[in-house]
Amino acid sequence: MFKDLNPLLHSQLRLAIMSLLIGVEEADFVYLREQTGASAGNLSVQIDKLQEAGYIDVEKTFRGKMPRTICRINRVGIEAFNEYVQALQEYLNKRGMNK
Partner DNA sequence: TTATTTGGTTTATAAAATAAACTACTTTAT
Partner DNA sequence: ATAAAGTAGTTTATTTTATAAACCAAATAA
Pairwise CA distance, residues 37 & 23, whole Å: 18
Please give the DSSP secondary-structure letter assigned to residue 95.
T
CB 34 to DNA: min, Å: 9
Residue 2 in contact with a copy of itself, rule: CB under 8 A: yes
Of 5, 30, 53, 70, the residue at the interface with a copy of itself (CB under 8 A) is: 5
Q: Which residues bind DNA (CB under 7 A)?
A: 7, 10-14, 28-30, 39-49, 60, 64-69
Q: Which of residues 69-98 bind a copy of itself (CB under 8 A)?
A: 85, 88, 90-92, 94-98
Pairwise CA distance, residues 92 & 90, whole Å: 6
Residue 8 in contact with a copy of itself, rule: CB under 8 A: no
Q: Which of residues 18-77 bind a copy of itself (CB under 8 A)?
A: 19, 22-24, 35-37
DSSP-H helix ranges across the chain: 12-21, 29-36, 40-52, 75-92
